[in-house]
């Protein structure tokens, strides 16, 4: 533990959920390149091992936590584990998300509905609250970044519950910032359009070369992290410069 405490004293600590692939992996790698020590959280060990490898960090500098954020006690377990290992948390990135394939509301099963709300809204709120309690006691405060989705405003058919969850996350970020700003805690939400990850299936109408890349979101996270202490970018909207949908919407 002494070695971990020495690391934490010298370098800032970041916790990234959904860090096993895609956007979460890109964010984790960008943070590591900026000098952060990492807590990497997701459900699949092999994917997290690969993220650790790409980060270039040693195991003592990149704690892996296997966790399913749909479980009610998962946020508390994750925060407690991170603090037990590092003793501090400077940045929390709520990136983990889940949604089934587009499904009409009347056909969406109760289990899928509950998982969408748990992973995309309940867990990020719980993690942000628990992290804020600790960050408020730190002289340096901290930063909490929530990854939402343009689905919250596009409100497409088949995405009603997912859209509601992401819209709730946007509202939560704004309201929580109003409460926590005087405690030195930044709260920001990134609202991306279509991102080229494995979560979006192949579609002949979609030009994937025009979509956002995971690295684009990572760059937005780093912009927030490096913003001066006197400024907080509460909301960042990212859209591809050119419309990836062939022929437009």
Q: What is the 3-state secondary structure (H, E, C) of 83-131?
A: HHHHCCCCEEEECCCCCCCCCCHHHCCHHHHHHHHHHHHHHHHHHHHHH
Interatomic CA distance for residues 207 and 227, integer angstroms: 33
Interatomic CA distance for residues 79 and 85, integer angstroms: 10
Which is the catalytic residue, given 36, 86, 162, 177? 162
For residue 59, report the phi and psi dihedrals to the nearest 5 degrees: -55, -35
Interatomic CA distance for residues 214 and 164, integer angstroms: 23
SS3 131: helix
CB atoms within 10 A of CB 234: 16
- Our separate counts of H helices and E strands in the chain read 9, 7
Residue whose token pair is 């929530």: 146
In the chain, the N- to C-terminal Cα span, in Å, equals 55
> Residue 206: CB partners within 8 Å, gap ≥ 6?
194, 200, 244, 245, 246
Q: Tell me if residue 83 is catalytic.
A: no
CA distances from 90 to 139, 140, 165, 169, 184 (A): 11, 8, 26, 20, 11
Question: What are the residue numbers of the active site?
Answer: 162
């Amino acid at each position: 533990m002494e070695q971990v405490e020495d690391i934490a004293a010298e370098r800032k600590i970041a916790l990234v959920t959904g860090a096993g692939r895609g956007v979460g992996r890109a964010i984790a790698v960008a943070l590591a390149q900026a000098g952060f020590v990492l807590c990497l959280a997701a459900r699949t060990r092999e994917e997290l091992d690969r993220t650790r490898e790409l980060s270039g960090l040693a195991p003592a500098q990149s704690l892996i936590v296997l966790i399913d954020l749909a479980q009610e006690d998962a946020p508390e377990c994750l925060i407690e584990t991170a603090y037990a290992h590092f003793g501090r948390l400077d940045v929390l990135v709520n990136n983990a998300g889940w949604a089934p394939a587009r499904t009409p509301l009347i056909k969406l099963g109760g289990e899928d509905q509950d998982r969408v709300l748990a992973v995309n809204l309940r867990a990020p709120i719980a993690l942000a609250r628990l992290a804020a309690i600790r960050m408020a006691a730190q002289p340096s405060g901290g930063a909490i970044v929530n990854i939402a989705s343009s689905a919250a405003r596009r409100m497409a058919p088949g995405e009603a519950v997912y859209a509601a969850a992401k819209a709730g996350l946007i509202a939560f970020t704004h309201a929580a910032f109003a409460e926590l700003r005087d405690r030195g805690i930044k709260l920001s939400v990134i609202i991306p359009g279509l991102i080229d990850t494995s979560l979006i299936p192949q579609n002949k109408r979609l030009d994937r070369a025009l979509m956002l890349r995971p690295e684009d979101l990572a760059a937005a996270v780093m912009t927030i992290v490096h913003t001066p202490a006197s400024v907080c970018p509460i909301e960042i909207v990212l859209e591809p410069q050119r419309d990836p949908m062939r022929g437009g919407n």
